[in-house]
Amino acid sequence: MIKLRDSIIYCPHCGGAENFYDVHLLKQQRKLNPCWSCNQELQVPPRIRIGKNVVMLNYDTKLFSHHVDDQKKYDFSTPIAEVTRHPRNPDLWGLKNLSEEKWVVTTADNSVKEVEQGKSTTLAVGTKINFGKDQGEIRT
């Protein structure tokens, strides 16, 4: 059920009907099935692969210890990250560090930076985030 929740994508055409990201279908058809509610084509949001799992990075997505630490499976007590808009550029989205640990971020051009608690990194293709126990890569 958790993988199903992590695969939710919202339809941008009909007010946010919940649909599901299906990587096998996407590989087979080169597109997702249309929205179940309005039959319009779905746009896949950015996503992050952490280990073997993929989480859709929707406007309301939060990551928990469950996602980044195999020793804390099913721990949804406190979010460690959330998708957020840039305060001065609403078209720019990021992943905000809510944890007490610094993240080490490597961008697609191999520049490395640390992301402190309360700060964000841009949701850009190829960005790798080391959460401490595990690493994720942002894809689109």
Say which residue the tokens 């078209």 belong to.
91
User: For the chain, where do the domains classified as CATH 2.60.200.20 start and end?
Assistant: 45-140
Per-residue confidence (pLDDT) for residue 1, from 0 to 100: 74
Per-residue confidence (pLDDT) for residue 7, from 0 to 100: 96
> CATH code for 45-140?
2.60.200.20
**Contact predicate 19/32, CB 8 Å:** yes
Question: Quick check: helix, strand or coil at residue 119?
Answer: coil
Letter string b/e over residues 67-106, b meaning 16 or more CB atoms within 10 A of that residue's CB: bbbeeeeeeeeeebbbbbeeeeeeeebbbbbbbeeebebb
Q: Write down the pTM of the prediction.
A: 0.91
Say which residue the tokens 């964000």 belong to.
120
Hey, what are 114's tokens? 């640390």
Output Rg (C-alpha) for the chain, integer angstroms.
Answer: 15
Question: Quick check: helix, strand or coil at residue 49?
Answer: strand
Per-residue confidence (pLDDT) for residue 15, from 0 to 100: 84
Per-residue confidence (pLDDT) for residue 93, from 0 to 100: 97
**Contact predicate 110/126, CB 8 Å:** no
Per-residue confidence (pLDDT) for residue 140, from 0 to 100: 82
Mean pLDDT, the chain cut into blocks of 10 residues (140 residues total)? 92 93 89 95 93 95 94 92 96 96 97 97 97 93
Hey, what are 10's tokens? 């919202």
